[in-house]
Structures are given as structure tokens and as C-alpha cells.
Structure 1
Amino acid sequence: MKTRVSWAELPRSVRAGVERILGETVVTAQSQTGGFSPGSADRVVLASGRRAFVKAVSAESNATSPVLHRREAAVAKALPPGIPAPKFLGMYDDGTWVALVLDDVSGTHPREPWQESELLHVLDRLADIGCVELPADVPLPQYEDSLRGAFRGWEKLASRPMAGMPAWEAEHLGLLAGLAKEGVEALAGGSLVHGDLRTDNIMLTDSGPVLLDWPWAAVGAPWADALSVLINATTLDPLSGWDHVLKEHRVFAAASDAGVTGVLAGWAGYFLDMSRRPAPPGIPTLRAFQARQAEVITGWLRKRLS
């Protein structure tokens, strides 16, 4: 099901604004798939042959997406040097349409399902990012504060029961809610956290993995993003089994078993609670994906708790 608009479908004023930022005319544009935004995502070629990446969205299609674009622009200016993220070139904002203009990243997304060699390559890069010293005044939220409300999913499911909730989840709501509270506190730390890592937000390049789409950036545990990558890998292939990576990879050196279990509980409750809500405007596939994530993470939790 199509959710994105193309470069050619953007209003003329938006395209002209982007070209002013780039200082050149766009001659070709290739729309990119993946992700859940209802906006555009285009790799563009300019008259000089230079390349860039443009993503634009309208508040008329989804009120939240322009807010996220503006937030990502602010994050891009705050990222410390050396972080593997696309260079920010500018933002067009007319109050309704918001477009971000970034350097084009030449590479490929990790294969689906994840291949262990690529997954370990990404985790190596995340371990390096976790060691980057952040300025004391970095204008990013604490990750545990960002997710404190989201990780109350099991509490919400207890106060407003979900039709058709699986029996194990229904029988263990209290336990899961308690674990999720512990998970929130386990996310505290002083490292840069991307906050939304999946295959579509990672590009494998000749110089190493590059992380895309940064609106959820925060400061937190150095292993938080790595666990999100394992959640994505497990969602795509539930039989793959990544517990050995949790035990062996250096990015998880500071993670306790209880902390990992708590964060998994928090995400499972969040995704299950969100999956029962109406689809957000312009993003029809999101709820099914959240339901799938909840199912897979809960299965993982059951194994860890058995």
C-alpha cells in the first residue's frame, strides 16, 4: 500500500524552496521505500551532478510528522562531531509543509532478515557511539524521561482491557507493568541514543554504518539502541535467536539481565497498547507492525522469565 508522495507530487513552492537551499535545480528524483512517514523521501540529482536527500511532509496529511521533521533539524545541529549521520543542509518550512535537505548517503540498508555479520558491524558502530563524550549542555532529553509515559502500556492495558488480549499477557499484567517501570530506570545513562533504530534507519556504507532519521535522539544507556536493533532483528525473524549477542558483544557490557528484561517489557506493553488504536492519518501499516513487534517481544520475554 502506497504511503509516500513523490518529489514530483510536492507543491511547486516546496520544490522551489528545496532548490534554493541546494543552490541548484533538481533534475531527477528517486523515491525511497521503507519507513512509516506519509511524506516524501527522495534521493535527488542536481544539475551539476551533485546528490542530496530530501524528505518533505504536510501537516494536512499527518499533524505529527512536520513536528518530527523540525525536531530532527534541531537534533542535527546538536549532534557532536564524528557521529555517523547525514550532513544537514537546510530546512524548508512554510508552516504546513516541512522539508529536510541532507547529504545523500551512498550505501545499502541491512538485509532483511538481518545477517549476523551486518548486525555485528552495526553493533560495533553503536558501541563506538556509546563512548562519545557528550557536552554537558547538549540540548537532548534524557531517554528514560522520553519513554516514561510510553512504558506505562501494561498499566493502560490493565485499566482499559484490550479485546482479544492473549492469555499469558492478561494473566501477568501486574508483573509486566512492574518490569516496565524497572526498564525505564535502566535506560538512564550519559550516551547518545538514536531512539528509533530499524533496518530502514541504517545505511551500510564503505566507511561503516550511518544512522538516518534522528528526531527521537536522547541521552541514555549506551546499549539502548543496540537492544532496539536486536528487537528489529527478532521481529523480522523470530526464530533467529540473538541471546548470544546479548551475552558476548561489548555494546551490552553495561547492561544487566534485569535491565534488558525491563526494557523489553516496556516496549512490549507500549507496542501492544498502541496496536489497538486507530491508524494515524497517512500511516495505514503502522498498527499491524506494532502488533507484530508486541507479539515477538512478548515471546522473547516469556523465554527470559521461564
Structure 2
Amino acid sequence: MVQASGVRIGWADLPAGVRDGVVEILGEPVVETVSQVGGFSPGTADRVLTASGRRAFVKAVGSALNEQSPAMHRAEAGVARRLPGGIPTPRLLGVHDDGDWVALVFEDVEGRHPHTPWVDDEVAAVLEALRRLAVPVTGLPSLRVDSEEDFAGWRRIAQDPPPGLDPWVAERLDLLDELAMAGLAALEGDRLVHGDVRADNLLIRPDGSVVVVDWPFGCAGPAWFDTLTLVLNVRLYGGRLDDDVIAAAPEAITGCVAGLGALFADRARRPAPPGLPTLRRFQQDQADIMITWLRDRLRAR
């Protein structure tokens, strides 16, 4: 199974002006850095320590590494500034943006990623964190609007089928598109949605509680959507989490499974982006999970 990972640079690889910008945000020199692995970005992911012992987390990327990554950092900064207090997310301390390089500085969270295969107590802790996240929000993008192109992936596949397309999928492309459109309609909502809940975007604190990190896709949608993506990740890496944990109508769940399957299947056939050589394989792995999940749901229906 492909893990979520890019070919990352480290703190020492950042331009001096970017490092200086981070120091300006923190108010004192950085004396120690520890690079973090995981996540689909070619940029830095460093836990840093300042001269006085202050800790922070820094993620930075420039357009030469990947044209889209700076825009994602800017999007995350916009979301982070709008997150309400009292929810399990790291606080944004500041942003350095020189028009090319974007560096985000967050409070450091002492923690580790969940075990994979997933274990029951950590699944339960993540579900509790998602419950706390699902608060009303304003000023964030709409999940339904943002998903319109992605959920139309079966149409693009029908117009240009890739080699080796699963025969079960090939015979049902019209039905899959119909289901995905029903799933799209179910994405209306005013609750905070992370949009990409998976093990590498979660940190387990020493007390067992969970902090949800990496928010470029933060938006407003239904409270249950993040739980559905958690079920996907548990299915992907192994563990126990049944569909009945998703507090949505069965038709909405089936539709969103079809829609996410369209997203992953369509994107997986694209060329690999610079600095992210395993991304397409990871998307194909998720597409395979969604197709199997969809077949199971349709068979049960």
C-alpha cells in the first residue's frame, strides 16, 4: 500500500529570505529543526525550536517545487484564519508570502500519526474529534460547489476510457454518474468540513486526544462528510469502522462513495505532479477501495 508522501525538502533548503520570514513571525532565532515525513507536499514540514525554547511547526513551499502547492498553502492560511476557537486544530501563528514561497507557521502539536492498520481506540478518538469539529461556519467555500468538477469524473472517463478500466465500472458508467450527482446534491451544509481526513492529517496527543491538521480543503458542508472519508481511510489501511457510523441517509452515502470514486479514478490516470511521484498510485488505491465499497453498497441495496 502506498503511503501519503512527497519528495520533501528540509529547513536548510529554504531560501534565506523564507527562513528570515519565519524568524520574524516567531520573534527569535530558530536553533533546532526536525523534519517530518508524510503528506503529499514537496515542501518542508519541520518542527522548529527557538532560542528561548519556543516550539512551532513550519510548512513552506515554492512554485519551482510544484506550481500548485503555494496556492494550497495560501488556501490553508485562509481557512486557518477562519477556524473557530475551541476545536481540535492547531493555531496559525503567521504567514510569510513573498509571491513565490509561502511559509505557514503553526503552534506545534506534540503527537504522532495514528497507527495503521487502524486500532479501535484511535478510531474512536478521531470520531470524537470530528464530532467537535462539526460546528457551524461562515466565510468558507462550499463543499458542494468545490466538488462539482470532481464528482463529474465518471463522465470524463466515459468520454475517454483508460486502458484496463474495471469491466464492472465500464458497464455502469451512466449509473455511477447518476449516483455521483445525487451525492453532490447531498453535500450542501453549513458545518465545518476538513475534506481530507486520513491518518497523515491527524495527530494523536499523549493523552489520546486527536488534533486535525492540514486544512487546504477546509469548507462548509454536511457534518457527516469527514466521517465518510475516515471510513475510506480505515478501509484503505485496515481496521474496523462500519458504514452505520456515518449519520447520513443511505442514498447520500452511496452517492458520495460514487462521487469520491469518480474523483480518485479520474485523477489517478493523470501524469504525476512534480515532487509527488506516489500521488497517482495513492489515488488509484483509493479509487479501488471506493469501487469495492460502492459494489458492496449496491449489492446490499
Partner of 2:235: 234
1:113 aligns with 2:109: no
**Offset, 1:139:** 1.3
Say which of 130, 133, 136 aligns to 1:133: 136
**Alignment deviations for residues 239-287 of structure 1 (CA, whole Å, 9 cap, x no partner):** x4532xx32x4xx33x011111110001111101111100111111100
- 1:147-226 alignment, distance < 5 Å: 147-205=147-205, 206=207, 208-226=209-227
Say which of 273, 276, 279 aligns to 1:286: 279
**Alignment deviations for residues 180-224 of structure 1 (CA, whole Å, 9 cap, x no partner):** 001111121121001111111111123721110111111111010
- 1:39-50 alignment, distance < 5 Å: 39-50=43-54
Distance 2:284 2:52 in 1: 45
Partner of 2:104: 100
Kindly indicate whether structure 1 or structure 2 has the higher relative contact order, using CA contacts under 8 Å at least 6 residues apart: 2
TM-score (norm: length of structure 2): 0.95
Distance 1:154 1:290 in 2: 15
Distance 1:293 1:142 in 2: 23
Count of matched residue positions in the alignment of Structure 1 and Structure 2: 294
Say what the alpha-carbon RMSD is for the aligned residues.
1.3
Structure 1 stretches of 4+ moved >6 Å: none
**Offset, 1:128:** 2.6
**Structure 2: which 5+ residue stretches go unaligned?**
none
Distance 2:214 2:80 in 1: 10
Identity of aligned residues (%): 48
1:65 aligns with 2:69: yes
Partner of 1:31: 35
**Alignment deviations for residues 70-127 of structure 1 (CA, whole Å, 9 cap, x no partner):** 1111111111111211111111111111100010000111111111211121112212
**Structure 1: which 5+ residue stretches go unaligned?**
none
Does the residue aligned with 1:284 lie in a helix, a strand or coil?
coil
Distance 2:184 2:173 in 1: 17
